Amino acid sequence: MSGRDTSEDSIVILGSGMAGGVAARTFREDGYGGRLVLIGREPTPPFGRPPLSKTYLRGEESLSGWFVNPEDWYEKNRVDRVAATAAHVDIRARRVELAGGNAVSYSRLLITTGGENRRLDVPGAQLPGVFQLRTVADCDAIKQAALRGARALVVGMGFIGSEVAASLTQLGVRVSAVLPGRAPLESVLGPEMGELMAGIHREAGVELVTGDEVVRFEGARQIEQAVTRNGRRLECDLAVVAVGIRPSVAFLEGSGVALDNGVSVDPSCRTNVPGIFAAGDLANHMHPLFGRIRVEHYNNAEKQGAAAARSVLGSAASFAYVHTFWSDQYEHKLEYVGHARTWDRFVVRGSAMDRKLVGFYLADGVLRAAVGVNRGGDPELDEHDEMAAAGRLIAKQARPDPAALADEGRDLSRL
């Protein structure tokens, strides 16, 4: 690695997270034998972040089970891991310039730098005890502060906020949560599911401060309370700000790589610049079924990381994955398949009261997405699994009879 490095055939993966780690493995599995460099600024080998808001946060498991590849895989497979932050990409010279002055040359470049947390730009946001959550270091800091009996404030109740609220509650921390909407996850899953999630959190003891936002954190030496727009004063020993992410693309400004809500890529994960590809949280992908979509979930990063690697190696296949994701909160498991930004009908199979249901999102009669709550099964293994069956209907842009969707007696895989 240096400014003089001019190796002829080298693939550089920029960003050593989920998508980057999977891409590295795919390159080797698919027979690429040339120079392979993986650049990343986090010390951890590529790993899955889900346990950071769940089992690892609660001290129930280590991260090793979540490593994308075993720690010694990189050396064994001649993957050159470079611990550095990219500062710029020079597309003419085909070089990634690193903070500190070095550079890495590439023949082909796969960008997988993911996202970074949005910060709350309010007074007191820098006070000790105000945390965010993306990295292992973030999680370790929250863990240290999350003592039994402490009071925590969670700001934002999207997936990460909801999972953190649940995990902290399970640790014996008293949790309040401030959110702009009426219910957790309402903007993604709709009002019915929002109400269900609100019930789950309230029952567990979380105070939901809805329709409100934090305007300031206060404290002498560390956070002591948060003040909301509606004038609530919420005392707390720690706060976790979970107000979403933005794509990590600052180093691409002015490079010539087209940016639009992340890195714009075509159906095969190619950017506008020949030889440069992107995958994962930062890729604004032209999906054959859903149109332009940027997905911030584990399964997408995993599948798209592999698909983009194959594109780098010359495949012209479209990445047509029908997206799936999951979330664990308390003892409840949510699963989602498809993609619905808007819908005009929500059909329920099962019971919201029992917290065991599948909800179907339809637009103009076409099934666009489905959400499952505590329905069990494994969509990857069981062809009769309801979520897997819903995924197949979504891929076909099917117009199933809503009455059949709602009928527990009807096998979804036969609709």
Ligand X SMILES: Cc1cc2nc3c(=O)[nH]c(=O)nc-3n(C[C@H](O)[C@H](O)[C@H](O)COP(=O)(O)OP(=O)(O)OC[C@H]3O[C@@H](n4cnc5c(N)ncnc54)[C@H](O)[C@@H]3O)c2cc1C
**Which residues here bind ligand X, judged by CB under 6 A?**
15-20, 39-42, 49-50, 52-53, 85-86, 112-114, 133-134, 160, 248, 251, 280-281, 296-299, 301, 325-327
Helix (H, G, I), strand (E, B) or coil at 217: strand
Is 380 or 407 the residue whose CB approaches ligand X more closely? 380
Is 39 or 389 the residue whose CB approaches ligand X more closely? 39
CB 135 within 8 A of CB 208: no
State how far the Cα of 15 lies from the Cα of 21, in Å rounded to an integer.
9
CB 189 within 8 A of CB 200: no
Is 35 or 297 the residue whose CB approaches ligand X more closely? 297
Minimum Å gap between C-beta 117 and ligand X is: 8
State how far the Cα of 347 lies from the Cα of 402, in Å rounded to an integer.
7
Is 39 or 358 the residue whose CB approaches ligand X more closely? 39
Minimum Å gap between C-beta 247 and ligand X is: 9
CA distances, 104 to each of 88, 101, 267, 312 (Å): 11, 10, 27, 18
Is 297 or 349 the residue whose CB approaches ligand X more closely? 297
Minimum Å gap between C-beta 221 and ligand X is: 27
CA distances, 282 to each of 119, 206, 248, 264 (Å): 17, 32, 7, 9
Six-digit token pair at 186? 């309402």
Minimum Å gap between C-beta 299 and ligand X is: 6
Is 326 or 343 the residue whose CB approaches ligand X more closely? 326
- As beta bridge partners, residue 226 has 217, 234
- Tokens 């009769």 map to which residue? 384
Minimum Å gap between C-beta 85 and ligand X is: 4
Minimum Å gap between C-beta 287 and ligand X is: 16
- As beta bridge partners, residue 38 has 13, 81
